[in-house]
Each structure stands twice: as structure tokens, then as C-alpha cells.
Amino acid sequence: MFGYMGKILRVNLTTNAITTEDLDFELAKKYIGGRGLGTKLYMDEVDPKIDPFAAENKIVIINGPLSGTATPTGGRYMVVTKSPLTGCIASSNSGGEWGAYLKYAGYDAVIIEGKASLPVYINIDEEKVEILPALDVWGKLVTEASDILREKQPGSKVMTIGPAGEKLSQMAAIMNENDRTAGRSGVGAVMGSKNLKAITVKGNLKPEIADAEALKAVTKECRALLKENGVTGGGLPTYGTAVLVNIINEHGVYPTNNFQGGVDPDAEAVSGETMTEKYLIKRNPCHHCPIGCGRWVKSEHSPDGIGGPEYETLWVFAGDLGINDMDVVIDANYWCNELGLDTISAGATLAAAMELYQRGFITDEILADDIALKFGNPESVVHWLKKMGNREGFGDLLARGSYRLADFFGVPEYSMSVKKQDIPAYDPRGIQGMGLQYATSNRGGCHVRGYLISPEILGLPEKLDRFDLAGKEVWAKAFQDLTAVIDSLGLCLFTSFAMGAQNYADMINEVLGTKWSADEVMLAGERIWNLEKLFNLEAGITKADDTLPPRLLNEPMPEGPTKGWVHKLDELLPLYYKERGWDEDGIPTEERLKKLGLL
Amino acid sequence: MAIKIKLFANFRDGRGKIVEMDYTPGMTGQDVIDDLGITAPEIAAVIVDGVDGKVDAMLAVPIKEDGYIAIFPPVAGG
Ligand code: SF4
């Protein structure tokens, strides 16, 4: 079996049973790995109606066939489970090194089931797999817990949850290598619900490659493409994703004060240019990554610096809160990482809380005269993040995310979310295709399920009119399907700024010994998208959930280059369903499912 | 009257964040980049007085008398 290690590890935390199973190679090829195969393995074993926190729920942690190979960025892994935030399928991706190390330990996936009676961690060292007590790290922040576990298991990579996951915040993340995050959809809380603090992993095994020489040549070609490309060889390495602050703001789609506005005159203070000039110490790349968008920045938390914020984090703790202070953002990012919180949802929840405060739903009395949750108040940010992560006082309500918070006050419309997951950093009123993708994303509000910012704003691979609806359903489907492939291979999405379906097909073919065309690769992506959709339908998600916050549909953007626009979802959604071969209620037709091999 | 040129990322190197240029009737983005020593293929996005579009088309649009142009090299993220 080429590419894969051929083994799945199963750990039952109720019975302490640890077993391994052979990977079905045909099944693996059909769903590729990562997000696709993880969803298939999960769906074959778990009822979509399950309570995400039930002991019967499972977590599939899975790398891809290219993880741990020499291919660029092949170090990622995916966490698949049912989301406690959205009720949809959650597949949350992280970089760093952990995904590659799972492969070096000899496994394509770990399936975690049951619930431990006391806090535990799992140690994986090739064939030696143990469930070990974690009482000494339970309650600890991410860096401290990781340091302790690294000392106990020298040479291991550590993935862990923080206090937010232990306390079942629906926004809890899983952290690895301290500052890499499987951030979205509350996957950390599912780990916490199983009393599982961490997984340490190491090993020295390598996957067999079908044609190692040919892979070398293809990898060289792909690396050259990444190097020559202005984005992956220039903008991202030099400025990180933070370089987006200015370009998104200049287009008037940089949401401010919980999407009440779209332009921030002071955004420069948190821009990539400012970060590079004043805060950057060095790049902080993931495993085998020639791009190196990750930042290592100055901070009072460590003389050596700490992991720096991404664009979406900068936006949410700056523009979306009406604050423009890089130190506040770096601090907020640090605390989210330490508490194990998704920065996007945590920040967006603060933004929703601030709007509820602005409109008189949250009062000083409700906050027991604690620091006011007021737009523009920098002191409120880390103060309330800590309370959120530790579920203290009003922080307990914040820990449930913006939708549940706003719904508690009877005004869910102030949550800028789709399927209860916050939408990030790009106002869909001025990016019609992106709005369609937000509304139809299988894991709720999310920018990395189909990054239409590329063609609509950044001009990649070509510039589209961002207000025009024509053809946006075709672009949305194509981007969503290709993204599903990349997420399943174990590679970073940012490679797609320089590479296309054929490049991915070439790498897969040399690793697996297949002869896939670019079209077959895209078909696999479509299969994965439809599989996720089937899960969501069975979980009770309907057409009514494929929508955007009412503000974005009804309130014209008040200012800037997007002034006067709303999102025209009602026109785009039927076109999208049709493009996908779904019926008018957004249900995949029998014909399409047969074509995809899902029936 | 002067127009404002907003530069981003590495276009700032040796030029600064904002450059002012004397307005001449009919001047376009192409005139601006010629003056700054930037070539069209180096540019990924252009906004002229709040309107964006394909780079070549936007470089041909006349800039308003007190207007601005924003010029970006290839940048991305997510
Ligand atoms: S481009 Fe950035 S996120 Fe992607 S693998 Fe490289 S460092 Fe990690």
C-alpha cells in the first residue's frame, strides 16, 4: 500500500481497549484521506443525530496520503467529529508537525471512542500505545501542559486542549506545537467531554512511495511554482496572512464593530506591513513548508517571542471590536492559544457581546459592574477572554459562542454567524461569491471551505467583479470541491495560490501509484462535499440553515467602496443548488449521488 | 491639486506608504506607475477612487482631481 501507512489506531477510553485495524485501500483512495476519509470513517460508525458530548460520539484524527512525504506543506491533520457549536460535521485542520508525526508513528488515523473516568492522555510511540493519567496537566494552560508532556515523552509532538476544552466551551480548539490550532467548530470540547487532555506522538516510520524518483521531480516542480509565485514566494513569506488587512479594508469589506461597518480608517496599525516592520522576529513555518506564512513576534509573554496572529485574528480583535492596537491583538491571540479557544469565534463572540451592550441588552448590572464590554475598550479583551475560557461569571455565557449568547437575550440576529459558527473577516455584502460560500459551507460560517476572496478581491487566478452574481455558483462549487481535495491530501490550502488540480493529481499519482486526471481529482472533491452534506441533512440541517445573518441580507453597507450593497443570497442559492445537482431544497439528487459513487 | 497614491506591501520599499502626485487632467494609473517605476505585471489589484476591477482596465481609468489610487502587489492569505 503506497502513501498510506495502512493502519488505523482505535482507542476506547471507556474500556481502555487499544486496537489496530487495516486500512481499506480502495476506500482510502475513494475518499483520499484527511477530511474526506475521516468523514467517511466517522459516518460509518456514528449516528448524525448524536449528542456531540455523548460518550458514544467519536473523534477521528487523520492525516492525508501526502502527509509525511516530501511534498510541500505535507504535515497537516484533520479532526473530524460532530460539532457541539454547529451540530454539523466538524472537520478542523491544523498545521505544525503533529500530522506528519502520526504518520511516522505508523498510523493514517486514530479513532477515539468512549469516555475516560478521569483525565487521561494518549501516548503513541509506533506500536507502543498507552492511555496514561493526565491529572497533573488537567487545568493547565496549553504551553505548560505541552512542556510537561514533552518532558515525559521526549521527542514527541503534543496536541492538547486548554481549559476551554476541558470546560466544554463550544468554541474550544485543539492546539499542537503550542501555537498551531485545529481551531473551528469546537472540536476541543469534544476531546474535553471524553476527559482526554492530550495526545503525544512520535515514530520513525515512513510511508512507501509508488515512484519515489518521479515524486522527487514533481515535488521539485511544485516547489518551484510556490517559489516563483508572487503570493506564495513573496507576499506570504514576507508579511504573513496579515498582509490582507489593508487590501480587504481598502475594498470596504473589512467588518467593523460586529459588521456594522466595512472600513476602518486606522487598520494600518494592525496590518501585515506594521507587523513586519515593528513586531516580526522570524517566520514560523509548518512541517516541510517552503511558504512559511506563520509569524514569530515580539511579546511581553516571552523574551524569545511567541506565535503571531493570522489575518482573521487581527481583524476580529481589532476592526471587529473597534480597537486598533497590535499589542492587544498579540495578547488576545496568546490567551486564546493558551486557553485553547478559536480566535475567530472567541473574538466574534466579544463583538456580538459589545453590540448587545451597545443596544442595552447586556447592562453593567448583568456584568456585575465588571469591565464594560464596550466597542473600543482594549481592557475588556483579554479580561473577558480569560473569563470565557475559564467559564467564570458572565464568561460562562460567552463560552457558548455568539449565537447562543445573542439567542439568550432573544436577539440571535446580532450573531454574525452561519449555522451558529461565526463568519470571519470578509463582509459578504461586497463579495457576493464569498457570501454564497459562507451560506453553503458544510461546517457553518467559514472562509477556508472555498476562498472566493482569491478571484473576487485578490485577482487570483483572475479578477472577477465582486458585486456581479454571474457564474458565482460555478466558482463557489469549484473552489469548495478543490478545497475538499487539498484538505484530504494533508496539504496546506495556501499551496492553491500557486498550484492547480493537475499539480495535486501529479503528486497523488506518484505517491499512490494511481493515474488520476485533474477531473477525477475534482470529482473526488465533489464526492467529499456531498458526503458532508448527507451527514448534515441527517443531523437535521436544512435549506433554512443555508443563509446569512439578516443584517447582511437586509441592511445596506453604510460606508466606503461597498456602500449601498446587501448580499443577494436569494438569487444565488437556487443557482448553486442547481450547479451542485441538488433539488430546490438543497438535497442531493439520486442521479448525482450515483455519479459520485455515494449510492 | 494633488492625487494620493496608496502603496502596499513591498511597493512601499523605497517609496513610502502614501505618495502625492500633482494632478494633470486625464491622468491614469498607468501614468502613476510609470512615474513610480512599477510595471503592470507586478500589480495584482488596483482601486481607483473606491472602484476596483481588472488591473489593466483600472490602470486606464482617469483618476479624479482630488482622488486616489491604491496599488497592491500579489498578496493573499486566509
Ligand atoms: S503556508 Fe503557512 S499555514 Fe500553510 S503550511 Fe506553510 S506555514 Fe503552515
Beta-carbon neighbour count of residue A155 at 10 Å?
Answer: 12
Domain residue limits at B10: 2-72
Residue A123 belongs to domain with CATH number = 3.60.9.10
Q: Are residues A369 and A453 in the same domain?
A: no
Q: Are residues A119 and A256 in the same domain?
A: no
pTM for the whole structure: 0.98
Check if A351 contacts B (Cβ < 8 Å).
no
Residue A565 belongs to domain with CATH number = 1.10.599.10
Looking at the domain assignment, is residue A212 inside a domain? no
Looking at the domain assignment, is residue B63 inside a domain? yes
ipTM of the complex: 0.98
Q: Which of B50, B52, B75 sits opposite A235 (nearest CB)?
A: B75
Q: Are residues A127 and A24 in the same domain?
A: yes
Q: Are residues A195 and A287 in the same domain?
A: no
Closest chain A C-alpha to B53 CA, distance in angstroms: 6
pLDDT, position A386: 98
Q: Which of B73, B77, B78 sits opposite A230 (nearest CB)?
A: B73
pLDDT, position B1: 83
Check if B13 contacts A (Cβ < 8 Å).
no
Q: Are residues A404 and A320 in the same domain?
A: yes
pLDDT, position A412: 98
Looking at the domain assignment, is residue B78 inside a domain? no
Pick from A397, A421, A445: which residue ends a domain? A421
pLDDT, position B76: 86
Q: Does residue A190 contact residue A171 with C-beta atoms inside 8 Å?
A: no
Looking at the domain assignment, is residue A208 inside a domain? no
Q: Which of B12, B42, B50 sits opposite A273 (nearest CB)?
A: B12
- Mean pLDDT score of chain A, rounded to an integer? 97
Q: Does residue A351 contact residue A258 with C-beta atoms inside 8 Å?
A: yes
A95 lines ligand 1 (CB under 6 A): yes
Q: Which residue of B has its CA nearest to A235?
A: B75
Task: Supply the Cα-derived Rg of chain A in whole angstroms.
Answer: 22
Q: Are residues A393 and A275 in the same domain?
A: yes
Q: Are residues A286 and A160 in the same domain?
A: no
The segments of chain A whose pLDDT lies below 70 read none
Looking at the domain assignment, is residue A221 inside a domain? no
Looking at the domain assignment, is residue A285 inside a domain? yes
| In the block, residue with C-alpha cell 483572475 | A462
Domain count within chain B: 1
In this model, does residue B78 exceed pLDDT 90?
Answer: no
- Between the CA of residue A542 and those of A90, A121, A324, A389, A411, what are the distances in Å? 16, 37, 38, 31, 21
Q: Are residues A17 and A162 in the same domain?
A: yes
pLDDT, position A321: 98
Separation of A223 CA from ligand 1 center, angstroms? Answer: 13
Query: Quick one: residue A186, left, alpha or beta (phi over 0 = left, psi -120 to 50 = alpha)?
Result: left
Looking at the domain assignment, is residue B25 inside a domain? yes
pLDDT, position A534: 98
- Give the A window 204-233 contacts with B, CB below 8 Å: 229-231
Separation of A309 CA from ligand 1 center, angstroms? Answer: 13
In sequence order, what are the residues at sequence separation of 6 or more whose Cβ sits closer than 8 angstroms to the Cβ of residue A44? none
Q: Are residues A524 and A382 in the same domain?
A: no
Domain residue limits at A573: 426-497+517-595
Check if B54 contacts A (Cβ < 8 Å).
yes
In sequence order, what are the residues at sequence separation of 6 or more whose Cβ sits closer than 8 angstroms to the Cβ of residue A312? A241, A343, A344, A424, A425, A447
Check if A353 contacts B (Cβ < 8 Å).
no
Task: Supply the Cα-derived Rg of chain B in whole angstroms.
Answer: 12
Q: Are residues A197 and A335 in the same domain?
A: no
Tens of pLDDT along A220-235? Answer: 999 999 999 999 999 9
Tens of pLDDT along A358-372? Answer: 999 999 999 999 999
Q: Which residue of A has its CA nearest to B44?
A: A459
Q: Which residue of A has its CA nearest to B54?
A: A463
Residue B11 belongs to domain with CATH number = 3.10.20.30
Separation of A235 CA from ligand 1 center, angstroms? Answer: 13
Q: Which of A229, A240, A463 sits opposite B54 (nearest CB)?
A: A463
Beta-carbon neighbour count of residue A442 at 10 Å?
Answer: 26
Looking at the domain assignment, is residue A237 inside a domain? no
Please judge whether A497 and B76 are an interchain contact, meaning their C-beta atoms are less than 8 angstroms apart. yes
* Separation of alpha carbons B2 and A38, rounded Å: 58
High-pLDDT (> 90) share of chain A, %:
99
CA B42 centroid distance within chain: 12
Please judge whether B77 and A311 are an interchain contact, meaning their C-beta atoms are less than 8 angstroms apart. yes
**Residue closest by Cα to atom 8 of ligand 1:** A286
Domain count within chain A: 3
The grid coordinates listed for A540 are 437535521
In sequence order, what are the residues at sequence separation of 6 or more whose Cβ sits closer than 8 angstroms to the Cβ of residue A220? none
Q: Are residues A298 and A436 in the same domain?
A: no
Q: Are residues A392 and A432 in the same domain?
A: no
pLDDT, position B77: 85
Looking at the domain assignment, is residue B77 inside a domain? no
